[in-house]
Amino acid sequence: MDNYRKQLALLYFKTSGNEYDLSELMKLLGLRNNQLDLILLELKNDGFICTNNYEIKITEKGILHLVSNNITNNADSSLQYLFKNIVVENIMALNEPYVPKKFLTKI
């Protein structure tokens, strides 16, 4: 379970960049302050995160650890979805109210 929390913390630092919030991370992982400190210390000792000017950053080793464990987020995948079923000619104006078909019929 601790390994899972460590990986979630790494993923959090990867996605948030320098806009992280340790209290938010603590709430997301369901930890107390001292438990989060232990996890951060273990991640730092393993070389997965580093501190520069009192700022925590994920290292290349941490990113490789996430990739090797197949842990990605939706922002990593740059898949472009094609919207084939949208017909541009039939788009209604925004000021026109939408009324479903057979709206006024009784059941």
Domain ranges of the chain: 3-69
Q: List the structure tokens of 79.
A: 């898949």
Q: Would you say residue 66 has pLDDT above 70?
A: yes
- Residues contacting residue 33 through CB under 8 Å, at least 6 positions apart: 26
pLDDT (tens digit, 9 = 90+) per residue, 33-51? 999 999 999 999 999 999 9
How many angstroms from the chain centroid is the CA of residue 81?
Answer: 19
Q: List the structure tokens of 59.
A: 């290292």
Q: Would you say residue 100 has pLDDT above 90?
A: no
CATH fold, domain 3-69, is Arc Repressor Mutant, subunit A (1.10.10)
Which of helix, strand or coil describes residue 49?
strand
- Whole-model pTM: value is 0.66
Residue at token pair 């938010």: 24
Q: List the structure tokens of 15.
A: 């996605």
Distance CA(51)–CA(57), nearest Å, equals 6
Q: Would you say residue 32 has pLDDT above 80?
A: yes
Q: Would you say residue 106 has pLDDT above 90?
A: no
User: Once rounded to an integer, what is the mean pLDDT over residues 4-18?
Assistant: 90
Distance CA(14)–CA(58), nearest Å, equals 6
Which of helix, strand or coil describes residue 96?
coil
Residue at token pair 């990867």: 14
Q: Would you say residue 75 has pLDDT above 60?
A: no
Q: List the structure tokens of 10.
A: 């790494």
**Local confidence band at 87 (pLDDT 50, 70, 90 cut-offs):** low
